[in-house]
Amino acid sequence: MDIGKRLKKLRQHKELTQEELAERTDLTKGYISQLEHDQSSPSMETFFAILEVLGEKPADFFQDHVTQKIVYPAAEQTVYADAEKGYTLNWLVPASNENEMEPVLIKLAPHGSFKPFQPSAAETFLYVLSGQVGLQLGAEKYQAQAGDSLYFHATERHQIHNLTSQTSQLLLVATASYL
């Protein structure tokens, strides 16, 4: 295992310069460079301090690279239905709430509504697959029909409604912990 290379890759992934990492760990830029080029070995205390600043657990750092999963079969989806509000929610990617984006498929019963959401830092994308939906975003109301997209910052209370007497279906992709 190339510890220096992994440290460098992790630092770059966190978009830190060697100097920024050095400042946050009370080390020098030169020492960080030596570590990344395997010219020096850190003490356990120093190594753990670096990992803490980089937001990495030691067990995760030493874990061999796991192949990224690309295909998620329909059988792996989690489905939740709320008959009272009139919606069915399919999480399209298992454990997606741990990712940057969370894609879900929503089916709204005739005149049904999706649960209301409080303001958040999330960005939200909706694509209407069938039917017609309304979005209440703060005091504003928007309408979209099959083939239309909606994109908004969720900085105000919001809720999605089915505006028809038939089932509407939409794809929702949100950032952060939206759902």
Greatest mean pLDDT among 15-19, 60-64, 120-124, 161-165 lies in 161-165
* Distance from C-alpha of 172 to C-alpha of 89, rounded to nearest angstrom: 10
Q: What percentage of the chain has pLDDT greater than the value 70?
A: 95
59 pLDDT higher than 90? no
Q: Which of 94, 126, 90, 102 is nearest to 177 (CA)?
A: 102
Mean pLDDT confidence for 135-159? 97
| Cα 165 from chain centre | 33
148 pLDDT higher than 90? yes
CB 55 within 8 A of CB 13: no
Mean pLDDT confidence for 102-110? 96
Assign domain 3-62 to a CATH class: mainly alpha
* Domain residue ranges in the chain: 3-62, 74-175
Q: Which two tokens stand for residue 9?
A: 């890759």
97 pLDDT higher than 70? no
CB 34 within 8 A of CB 70: no
| Cα 79 from chain centre | 19
Q: What's the pLDDT at 62?
A: 86
Q: What's the pLDDT at 96?
A: 73
pLDDT tens digits, 40-49: 999 999 999 9
Helices (H) and strands (E) in the chain, counts: 5, 9
Q: Which two tokens stand for residue 146?
A: 């099959």
CATH code of the domain made up of 74-175: 2.60.120.10
Q: Is the pTM of this model over 0.75?
A: no
Average pLDDT over the chain, rounded to an integer:
91
Reduced to 3 states, what is the DSSP secondary structure of residue 135?
Answer: strand
